[in-house]
Amino acid sequence: MRTIQMVDLKQQYAKIKGPVDAAIQEVLDTTSFINGKAVTDFAAGLSRYLGVKHVIPCANGTDALQISMMALGFQPGDEVITPSFTYVATTEVVALLRLKPVFVDVDPKTFCIDPAAIERAITPRTKAIVPVHLYGQAAPMAEIMEIARKHQLYVIEDNAQAIGNEYTFPGGQTVKTGTIGTIGTTSFFPSKNLGCYGDGGAIFTADDALANKLKMIANHGQSRRYYHDLVGCNSRLDSIQAAILNVKLEKLDSYNDARRKAADNYDRAFAGHAHITVPYRAPYSNHVFHQYTLILEGVDRDGLNAFLASRNIPSMIYYPVPAHRQQMFAAFGGADYDLPVTDWLTQRVISLPMHTELDSEQQDLICNSVLDFMKK
């Protein structure tokens, strides 16, 4: 059996080596390493795939969030509501821009931001909501957009873990996550559902004026060459990464299907277990399983992690410390926050290997090992 990994990029690459190598070679032959044809092709391809008018590629998913917040013209001290139960990038950029992160709780079923908690956190200084489609599950966007409309707030969707997810509105209309809010952002970090072989990211919007501003900010605030109208930054997706992404974008739907199939297998193995809650699948969200994350009750989680490791099976805690308990946010009243669901989940979640190349032999071993540990 192949060694089990959290994410098996090697095996995935082996299957697309021909077209990927050719795409990289083409960039090398043209030497247009920055803003080459591969980058414009990729932006156009992703825009078609997502059904969103503008895709602005950038250097990584963290920059995508930062550039979005710069473009919306927030002033120091303005408040941005985010979940605490997320990867640090979501909340870090808020503080970096001298804005105030306001952490709210999540729903224990979806792992995503709780709309009722958003409402309670709104003040006259609130400017935006940043929902995160965590682990590949969509946040409840209909409710979030309704709150945003009512209070005239911007919505920036952090779609780094959910690219390809389709969100269905109560009326039946289905759209891709990341295209619902004012702006959507994503990351092409290698382990993401659509990953390149280095760093990469992108920003999506339907708004022409905003797209123009986002593009300028990502390129030193430049309106035309050497004329800089805004303070911006330098954030580019390079042509080699874009060339790889052009090949992988074609595969994204089948990759997400493979993840769902692996999730189905896990679900079957753990169904009805007294100590295990399998990931909830919100009916409005076509979950893309960036992670497959269990909630354990009455289980020695560190013991399980060590037991799996003894059988060469990796497992991870995403994330061991929520944002409101990170030292970097101490100045924002970290200790004063009362986020019981976030703390409850942080103590109980564990993520199992999840990628496009899991085979049934590997999954059987993982499932049997988890169940063996529970019997002890």
Ligand X SMILES: *Cc1c(COP(=O)(O)O)cnc(C)c1O
- Which residues contact ligand X by CB under 6 A? 60-62, 86-87, 89-90, 132, 158, 160-161, 187, 189, 199, 201
Minimum gap (Å) between residue 86 Cβ and ligand X:
5
Query: Taking the mean position of all CA atoms in its chain, how far away is CA 118?
Result: 20
Distance separating alpha carbons of residues 237 and 63, to the nearest angstrom: 11
Shortest reach from residue 139's CB to ligand X, in Å: 11
The CB-of-311 to ligand X minimum distance in angstroms stands at 27
Please name the residues in contact with 313: beta carbons below 8 A apart, sequence gap of 6 or more: 4, 353, 365, 366, 369
CA 205, CA 53: separation in Å to the nearest integer? 7
State the CB neighbour count (10 A cutoff) for residue 326: 16
Shortest gap between Cβ of 190 and ligand X (angstroms)? 10
- How many Cα atoms occupy the beta-carbon half-sphere of 294 within 13 Å? 29
Cβ proximity to ligand X: between 86 and 293 the closer is 86
State which residue, 132 or 295, has the beta carbon closest to ligand X: 132
**Least distance between ligand X and beta carbon 310 (Å):** 29
Q: Cα–Cα distance between 151 and 1 in angstroms, integer?
A: 55
Nearer to ligand X, 319 or 373 (CB): 319
Alpha-carbon 44 to chain mean position: 21
**Comparison of 193 and 369: residue with beta carbon closer to ligand X:** 193
The angle, 0 to 180 degrees and rounded to 10, between the axes of the packed helices 208-217 and 61-71 is: 120
**Residue (304 or 323) nearer to ligand X, CB:** 323
Instruction: Write down the least CB distance from residue 59 to ligand X, Å.
Output: 8
Task: Output 23 or 323, the one with its CB closest to ligand X.
Answer: 323
Closer residue to ligand X in complex, CB, 138/304? 138
Min dist CB 237 to ligand X, Å, is 11
CA angle 235, 239, 243 (to 5 degrees): 130
Q: Please, what is the minimum distance in Å from the beta carbon of residue 211 to ligand X?
A: 20
For ligand X, which is the closer residue by CB, 52 or 237?
237
Residue 226: CB minimum distance to ligand X, A:
29
Q: Give DSSP secondary structure letters for 248-271.
A: HHTTHHHHHHHHHHHHHHHHHHHT
- List beta partners, residue 56: 203
CB burial of residue 1 (10 Å; 0-12, 13-18, 19+): exposed
Q: Which residue is nearest to ligand X (CB)?
A: 61
Q: Which CB atom, from 74 or from 189, has the smaller least distance to ligand X? A: 189
> Which residues are CB-contacts of 176 (< 8 A; sequence separation ≥ 6)?
49, 50, 51, 52, 164, 165, 166, 167
Minimum separation from the CB atom of position 234 to ligand X (A): 15
In the bound state with ligand X, the residue whose beta carbon lies nearer, of 91 and 286, is 91
Distance of CA 349 to the CA centre of its chain: 17
Name residues whose C-beta falls within 8 Å of residue 141's C-beta, 6 or more positions apart in sequence. Answer: 131, 157, 167, 169, 177, 180, 181, 284
* Residue from 20, 18, 5 nearest 359 by CA: 5
- Residue 198 is given by DSSP the state S
